[in-house]
């Protein structure tokens, strides 16, 4: 059953990643904004999902489906790595640094913010 939850969530997450990335990139194609948006939204959501799991509001099955499945399929760290390398190989060092460091700092910050958001909502 665990593999089914991960597989179904992964298929859904990958489909969502494709749709969101495509939608964003059609509007701004000069920088890998689609991947950046997906990674940042995914970082925020994984912070929320894992905090809810730690607090006992989500089961281990829900965590598998949401965090490992959907968000694992939705976030695109491998695409991020490739796009950063492509920027570097094209000689775009500053955009590569901004994209790479910005993605990491903002992603970690948003994971923390997702966790804090759940803590704040549950303290009301």
Structural contact between residues 38 and 20, judged by C-beta atoms closer than 8 angstroms? yes
Per-residue pLDDT of 74-93, as tens digits, reads: 998 888 998 999 999 999 99
Output the pLDDT for position 116. Answer: 97
Question: Can you list the residues of the chain whose pLDDT is less than 70?
Answer: none
Q: How many domains does the chain have?
A: 1
Output the pLDDT for position 5. Answer: 98
The angle subtended at Cα 65 by Cα 120 and Cα 18, nearest 5°, is 95
Output the pLDDT for position 15. Answer: 98
- By residue range, what is the domain housing residue 27? 2-123
- The pTM assigned to this predicted structure is 0.82
Output the pLDDT for position 52. Answer: 97
Output the pLDDT for position 87. Answer: 96
């Amino acid at each position: 059953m665990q593999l089914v939850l991960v597989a179904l969530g992964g298929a859904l997450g990958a489909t969502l990643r494709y749709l969101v990335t495509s939608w964003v990139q059609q509007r701004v194609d000069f920088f890998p904004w689609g991947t950046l948006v997906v990674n940042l939204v995914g970082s925020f959501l994984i912070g929320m999902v894992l905090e809810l799991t730690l607090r006992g509001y989500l089961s281990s099955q829900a965590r598998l489906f949401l965090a490992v499945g959907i968000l694992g399929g939705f976030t695109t760290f491998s695409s991020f790595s490739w796009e950063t390398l492509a920027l570097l190989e094209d000689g775009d060092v500053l955009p590569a640094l901004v994209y790479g460091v910005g993605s990491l700092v903002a992603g970690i910050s948003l994971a923390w913010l997702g966790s804090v958001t759940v803590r704040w909502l549950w303290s009301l």
